[in-house]
Structure 1
Amino acid sequence: MSDVPELLVDGRIYAGWTEMRVTRAMDRAAADFDLRVSERWPGRLDPWRLQPFTPVVLRFGRDVVLTGYVDYAAPEADEKTHRVRIVGRSKTADLVDCTPEIAGTEFRGATLPAIARALARPFGVEVVEEVPPGAPFSVEAKDRTDTAWETIERLARMRGVLAHDDEQGRLVLTRAGSRRASGELVMGRNIVAASAKLDGSKRYSRYVVLSQRQTGAAVARDGDGDDDDSEPDERPNAGVQVSVSGVAEDPDVPRYRPRILRSEGSGDAAFARARAVWAAASARGKAVQAEITVQGWRQQDGRLWRVNELIKVRADWMRLDHELLIVGTEFTLEDTGRRTVLTVTPPEAMTPEPEAENRRGGGSGGGSWGDLRPIR
């Protein structure tokens, strides 16, 4: 299978790249590319045709890798050589950079996909739904100076959804682990190099989440502030916001490190507990990250490596024998040839935050880097 990197511009192919980097991540709205060539273009095409704002499609062989625009071009020349560097990003870069001019500053009764489409449409960016739309927002205000991405990312978090671009330059609304990569990554077999980062600085022994909920017209209280089964209290201030809390612990943090958090929105004690469990699991996952370098740009079955795919990783010296999530890909072309750097992390690092509206209960589990459990 041919993996010659080509940049398509108005039907013309720009090839002959000597160095290349293409990076995509699940926590970023727009992938980016950086291409360099040191001689005249094949076919004697003029390299200075590639100007900022030029629409481009980058592909490896027949597979599209990125659809977007040139951000800047840096041509150089001397008596012997011609060099040019082309840098650009996915079409979704306009969502990151720009503030859309739309009528009004409030969305009423609209779902996340509907709001995302309204914000992305002026920039010619399509929105792809890989998850249900979720509950509509009753009233959601948008600051007039917020970029489209700032609004979309904030609302996506409230619905437990991740947003990133795809190869066609579309904005994808998804959740972690929706696909599976082929084969395995095994040290001594197909892993060229690997490194890990184990960071305990943002892990805590105990998570306490404070939330509020609206009481009914008549609510009884006992001495500790919880509801009880006694007769209603017809106090004048019945119906006010009252505080509730939820607690979760990380047994693998060996010393006293408590963290008190305030949840967004309102919820009952079950929601506060779910939010605390999520905070503990998410912190455990984010504390562990590995970068794995493999030869070439393709998986075992011939597909290009993609983010949001689960892959089994076996590297004994790193205490790794687990199903991990690919959260970042970097395709490179250098003197060493074609390689892919995969950023992997435990899936719980990308677990959606509980929604107050659904009041979903939480679970427990997880552990340190060496105690991760495979997903069944």
Structure 2
Amino acid sequence: MSQSVTVHGRRWIVRINGHIIHNWTSCEAGVDLGEISGVFRLEFVESVPDGDSFSPTVRVHDRIEIEIASVVVLRGYVEALNVTADERSLRTVASGRDVTGDLVDCAANPTGPAEYRKILLETVVGHLTQPFGISIDRQIETGAPFTLVALEPSDTVLGAIERLSRQRGVLVTSDGISGLILTKAGQTRAQDRLVWPGGNVRRMEARVSQRHSDTWVKGQFNSLSRGTKGALNASSAPSAFSPPGGLSKKELGASCKYGHCVDPDVHRYRPIVHLAKSQSGGSVAAQDSANPALDSTAQGTAQDAPAGSAYRAGSRRMKRTATPPRQGSDPWTLQDQALWRMRTARAHATAYVYTVPGVLNAAHELWRANQLVPVRDLYNGIDGDMLIGAVTWVAQGNLEETRISVVPPDAYDLTGEADAPATSGRRSTRLSQSYGGAA
């Protein structure tokens, strides 16, 4: 099925520094859960200057606002210009990000403080974004306060926020207009579906690359089991130090913490290790919890070769057991960071992009990211719910279309809810069918 949507009288409005402009020839605006900040690209045709009074349509740092079908989808700033011209024509391409774009490459608290103690995720995020005038919309519970949040001098704002949110299983995304949203993946559903071939999809593009079999996150923490008073007191005679029972094990556990998870759809040995980088979130409950038990095919702490029994030359297709998802009563540990990194890496390595005509879905609403959508794709073997990971609205001349990138529904989920069988009948297949065969 092929369809063209012709725009009679543009329903796209582009404002630069508050003024509507009309000399643009193409416009793209979109949001990607993996990048957080929304982005845009505008192409202009301008007259060749014929006098000193010429003024270009746009300059770097100009404010921009893009409205589609009476809905403002992006407010931000022009960050880059690419101008080409000859004696008869002048073409300008402007690109940039939404208002949260400055968080990506600007320093977090260059004058301090470098540490926060006993602080909630939304509170520290608010402190870091306040100088930029960014609002925070907390849509879910973010867990207990962090025991300690330590910022490194080289941390960017978004880098620090991403690291902290990962420790609480919170998805941080931009609303494209005024600020950040602290949420979970797939809380709403798109009022439409994607079907290719023979449906509403004009073009399909599959982007699949390899990923890692074992994801490790390792870190060290100062033990919180130590007393606040030293064994020796200058005002009294020395006395023997009697540590509480099990203190040595707790000290060892605090200094040798790790998280580990298995991607069972990767059939050869490809481990990766990430460092926790800071003591952020190291609580007594986290330090008292044991490191995750390793399966017999992931001997990452043993002296012999890791995973030697899992990937023998003659058994490349050995099936490993997936790491169980977290339970609601579990403390937040490095295991959660390992789960988060594995799932998001899978999302980045496995994406399917469907281009549909127009910018509105069957309910006459804009296609939006972070929604579940039923997908039927005979070529890629998908028949069930997927998560819209990115949306790009496109206007080219008088034609409109939307590029929709879908990823596995559990890509940004730690609870395991997305792995559960459907109860509503809308998730009709095991989700591993959507991405398991391409590792």
TM-score scaled by length of structure 2: 0.67
Matched residue, 1:35: 42
Matched residue, 1:315: 377
Q: How far does the alpha carbon of each residue in 1:94-124 deviate from its partner, in whole angstroms, 9 at most, with x for none?
A: 1112114454211111111111111111011
The amino acid of 2:376's aligned partner reads: R
**Preserved contact between residue 68 and residue 88 of structure 1 (Cα < 8 Å):** yes
**Preserved contact between residue 284 and residue 367 of structure 1 (Cα < 8 Å):** no
**Preserved contact between residue 18 and residue 63 of structure 2 (Cα < 8 Å):** no
| Partner Cα distance (1:39, 1:184) in 2 | 40
The amino acid of 1:31's aligned partner reads: G
**Preserved contact between residue 15 and residue 21 of structure 2 (Cα < 8 Å):** yes
| Partner Cα distance (1:88, 1:371) in 2 | 32
Matched residue, 1:190: 200
Matched residue, 1:305: 367
| Partner Cα distance (1:235, 1:72) in 2 | 59
Query: Are residues 1:156 and 2:165 paired?
Result: yes
**Preserved contact between residue 215 and residue 241 of structure 1 (Cα < 8 Å):** no
Deviates more, 1:75-84 or 1:160-169: 75-84
| Partner Cα distance (2:186, 2:205) in 1 | 22
How far has the Cα of 1:322 moved from its partner? Answer: 1.2
Matched residue, 2:119: 110
SS in 1 for 2:361: coil
| Alpha-carbon distance change, 194 to 371 in structure 1, aligned in 2, over 3 angstroms | closer
| Partner Cα distance (1:258, 1:80) in 2 | 56
Query: Are residues 1:131 and 2:117 paired?
Result: no
| Partner Cα distance (1:245, 1:155) in 2 | 17
Picking from 178, 184, 188, the partner of 2:187 is 178
| Partner Cα distance (2:85, 2:203) in 1 | 36
SS in 1 for 2:363: coil
| Partner Cα distance (2:363, 2:418) in 1 | 37
The amino acid of 1:95's aligned partner reads: L
**Preserved contact between residue 24 and residue 307 of structure 1 (Cα < 8 Å):** yes
Matched residue, 2:433: 369
| Partner Cα distance (1:130, 1:90) in 2 | 21
**Preserved contact between residue 245 and residue 269 of structure 1 (Cα < 8 Å):** no
The amino acid of 1:175's aligned partner reads: K
How far has the Cα of 1:58 moved from its partner? Answer: 1.1
How far has the Cα of 1:330 moved from its partner? Answer: 1.6
The amino acid of 2:251's aligned partner reads: V
Matched residue, 1:257: 269
SS in 1 for 2:186: coil
The amino acid of 2:351's aligned partner reads: Q
Query: Are residues 1:143 and 2:152 paired?
Result: yes
**Preserved contact between residue 191 and residue 293 of structure 1 (Cα < 8 Å):** yes
| Alpha-carbon distance change, 147 to 290 in structure 1, aligned in 2, over 3 angstroms | same
Deviates more, 1:286-295 or 1:106-115: 286-295
| Partner Cα distance (2:28, 2:407) in 1 | 22
How does 1:226-241 map onto structure 2 within 5 Å?
237=248, 239-241=250-252
Matched residue, 1:121: 130
Query: Are residues 1:4 and 2:11 paired?
Result: yes
SS in 2 for 1:191: coil
TM-score scaled by length of structure 1: 0.77
Q: How far does the alpha carbon of each residue in 1:204-248 deviate from its partner, in whole angstroms, 9 at most, with x for none?
A: 3x778889998999xxxxxxxxxxxxxxx9688454324788886
Give unpaired runs (5+ residues) of structure 1.
Answer: 218-232, 355-359
